[in-house]
Amino acid sequence: MLDTLLHRYFKIPYRLHVHTDRRVKKASATVLFLHGMGTSSSAWDGIIDKLPDDVRVISIDLLGFGKSPSPRWLKYSTDVQAKAVIATLLRLKIRRKLIVVGHSMGALVAVEVAKRYPFIVKSLLLCSPPFYSDLQKRTLLPTQTALLKRFYALAQKYPKNIVGMTPLATKLKIIGKSFNVTSDNVDIYMAALQASVLNQNGYDDVSRIRKPTHILYGSLDPIIVKKNLESIAKRNEYVSVSSVVTGHELIGRYLPAVARAVVAFIPGKK
Domain-embedded: residue 22: yes
Angle at 43 between CA 37 and CA 49, to 5 degrees: 155
Domain-embedded: residue 32: yes
Q: Into how many domains does the chain fold?
A: 1
Give 214-265 pLDDT, tens digit per residue. Answer: 999 999 999 999 999 999 999 999 999 999 999 999 999 999 999 999 999 9
Q: How far apart are the first and last CA of the chain?
A: 51
Give 44-68 pLDDT, tens digit per residue. Answer: 999 999 999 999 999 999 999 999 9
Domain-embedded: residue 269: no
CATH of the domain at 90: 3.40.50.1820
Domain-embedded: residue 121: yes
When pLDDT is cut at 50, 70 and 90, the band that residue 102 belongs to is: very high
Domain-embedded: residue 43: yes
The domain of 107 spans 2-264
